[in-house]
A and B are shown apart, each in its own frame.
Chain A
């Protein structure tokens, strides 16, 4: 979806600067220790949280409205293991902490978030952080979980050892957060030093570990018993045979559900949308306004909105995979395949999240340590089937693929075609990565080091929030980009105004309107693919965002008197061949029609070179593949 994932611009709270009081506070901690959960608690914002290391890859600022003072800026940062950055996301955290990150104020206090279930190891980060001299509050997160499992720590003793205040909290349940309030409002804070602390030499991991082990021993830390649950689940999910089979079953299951449950939902939703249009129709005067609002804009928007239920279902599944901790296991299973193309399993996490949207996926490549691996992953990510392609696929499949079922109704032909399109994107991504990694982006292998989080039951609340947020983004998109495009299309479809024989003004025939002429102008280029001029206009407008294709079709067929009364599916069915429809789907699988993705690739690679190369490469591939598919289908059908 276009503009789906850029964080909103942040305005730091305006207020008088009180000397000796904090203005900017940073959240620092190892990966997956719960910083973003705490950030959301304290600011009331909805930064993405999930159960795998490396969810947060850039700084995010918010006003501390939840607990604390509302004149404070809180910065959420990517997780780090030490102050020696190992990957791009860690570099962001270290730069923000040092105050060298452009556009982000230097923090004047630190909330160090540590997962109390692995305190000994997590304390290794405390030494370099405390050595920065910034006032620090140490937050032992997930203490409720630790205590449930028989763990124990003397936080007073820990505070004495570290010469820094320590608080036990649970970011998920919001307990113990008043300590943050106290720390931030403490008079005279920000001037104190840490006199008695003997810190290990920074950068030396072994001495940091020895120090951390000593501290945790002196504070009577007892690690919680490791949970049997994770081991048991893994013995099935990572099983030699069952593991990959279950992985496949889950993927197929997701698509089956998107069709078998999602399709009726979408159809019902489509009926409601159509009825809403009918209710409004008598209220508008007959004439150009009614035509613009109903046949232009409403037809366009509703043709995309129809797919909302199915897209939300897909996001529900992605949410379950990410929150449970399975994503890291998928990366582990995929490592073997990834190594054959010269990448490692870590690159699989961004590729999987690209099923939702390529924009955050390209951001997520920051966790890949090797620069060339990272660039290769960025370049192939847009091949993964993002959710914006879904409306196009769903529309064309519903219009052209018969609803045949095989294996006693377990597997539908529509599901197979859908899966085939996902596989096509996947294969294109892998082949391209392989080519890149064995030519221009060749590099020595980087070790694959992946931390596997413990499984967690996804909470209904967090899943609901994800789905609601996604729905809101989709609606917002429909309300802005799609309204704009459909209005422009409607206007172009009704120009130039002609004088009829009776002397009144009227719209021209669709084919002789501005849009019709533009369409016919480009038709020779796309005719070999089996596309008519309307599809051509759709392809042009879908460069803004892929789902605009569907709304454009809705508007164009709605503006044409001969197809006005038909549903979009029927109209398409009469206007295209099966070969053209299959070619169109393949075209969408390969082409990079997304300005947001191009913008984020430009930002992450720091030049226009790569997005332009990527756009041309994908366009050529899409055109070639569509050409082949169209001609092969024509030949097969005689």
Chain B
């Protein structure tokens, strides 16, 4: 998990034109889709904002976006540790309206794909949260 995250994090920082889609690739240059962190089939894991279903809330972890976009989004309230709720999807299914800080902001799927989240859980670090989720899965 951490490995993929590290790759995901590195790959899009040096984006030459400042804008653009985020390609995630490993050292050999293989290109992955937009969300390579999805793991076990059947496990209900929500790791990026785009996977959040309508009505669900989560806590922001990081934004893996070009710097200008990231900066802009952060000034709109998309900062780490902020709580975000998926409010509704546009009639065509995309973009999705998210509520953050009492404000409604619409993002396209690919942008929300680059925003990492963790479940709402007070007082636990991200790692603990993931471990808890895995334990819960085992228990089930």
On A, residues with C-beta under 8 Å from B are 81-82, 84, 86, 117-118, 120-121, 124-125, 203, 205-206, 208-210, 223-224, 226, 230-231, 234-235, 238-241, 243-244, 332-333, 335-337, 339, 344-345, 370, 443-452
Contact = CB atoms under 8 A, between A and B. Distances in A.
B76 A81 contact: yes
B98 to A, nearest CB: 10
Interface string B92-109: 111101010111111110
Nearest to B94: A336
8 contacts: A120-B101, A121-B103, A124-B75, A238-B88, A443-B19, A445-B19, A447-B65, A448-B106
Nearest to B15: A444
A127 B73 CA distance: 17
B101 A335 contact: no
A445 B21 contact: yes
B97 A448 contact: no
Contact of B87 (A120, A231, A339, A370): A231
Nearest to A239: B91
B103 A118 contact: yes
A444 B107 contact: no
A86 B66 CA distance: 13
A451 B104 contact: yes
B104 A452 contact: yes
Contacts of A444: 17, 19-21
Given A333-B92, A451-B105, A81 B72 contact: yes
A489 to B, nearest CB: 50
Contacts of A333: 90-92
B19 A118 contact: no
Contact of A336 (B70, B87, B92): B92
A324 to B, nearest CB: 15
Given A335-B90, A336-B90, A449 B76 contact: yes
A345 B95 CA distance: 9
Contact of A121 (B20, B76, B80, B110): B76
Nearest to B65: A447
Given A205-B71, A210-B79, 4 more contacts: A121-B103, A206-B80, A332-B90, A444-B17
Contact of B20 (A86, A445, A448): A445
A209 B106 contact: no
A240 B91 contact: yes
A117 B82 CA distance: 17
A336 B89 CA distance: 12
B20 A238 contact: no
Interface residues of B, number: 38
Contacts of B79: 205-206, 209-210
B88 A234 contact: yes
Contact of B105 (A125, A240, A449): A449
A334 B77 CA distance: 24
B108 A244 contact: no
Given A118-B103, A450-B106, A451-B103, A332 B74 contact: no
Contacts of B65: 447
A370 B19 contact: yes
A450 B106 CA distance: 5
B111 interface: yes
Shortest beta-carbon contacts, A-B, top 5: A205-B74, A336-B92, A444-B20, A81-B75, A452-B104
Contacts of B91: 238-241, 243-244, 333
A525 B58 CA distance: 66
B125 interface: no
Contacts of B104: 230, 451-452
B124 interface: no
Contacts of A446: 19
A370 B97 CA distance: 22
B69 interface: yes
Interface in B53-77: 65, 68-77
A40 B92 CA distance: 39
Interface in B1-28: 17, 19-21
A450 B111 CA distance: 12
Contacts of A244: 91
A244 B92 CA distance: 9
Given A86-B68, A234-B88, A238-B91, A449 B101 contact: no
A239 B54 CA distance: 13
Contacts of A124: 75
Given A82-B71, A444-B17, A121 B77 contact: yes
B108 A447 contact: yes
Contacts of B107: 447-449
Given A205-B71, A243-B91, A450 B105 contact: yes
Most A CB contacts (10 A, CB to CB) among B19, B94, B95 go to B95
Contacts of B17: 444
B97 A332 contact: yes
Contacts of B71: 82, 84, 86, 203, 205
A231 B95 CA distance: 17
A310 to B, nearest CB: 31
